[in-house]
Amino acid sequence: MKKILLLHMLVFVSATLPISSVASDEVETLKCTIIADAITGNTLYETGECARRVSPCSSFKLPYEIRRRYAKSWRQSPATT
């Protein structure tokens, strides 16, 4: 129950934060193009800054990712529901 409450609080706080407090003054565009073979997974074409890691562009995706990663530990046994 505490974990579900924590998730709801995280969603509420991330939705109510002012955009100016989390956005940088400079807008930087990251350009990366990758074309890969769907069967082998081999990269056929790659250009731009593809090795650089970035956060998701949409904060709406964060709760889904948190839920996906921790869903197994949040499941309750049938006896407790």
Residue 58 annotated to the active site: yes
Specify which residues 25 forms β-bridges with. Answer: none
Q: Which of 21, 24, 55, 58 is catalytic?
A: 58
- Cβ contact 30:54 at 8 Å: yes
Residue 36, C-beta contacts closer than 8 angstroms, at least 6 positions apart: 42, 43, 44
Q: Which residues are designated catalytic?
A: 58
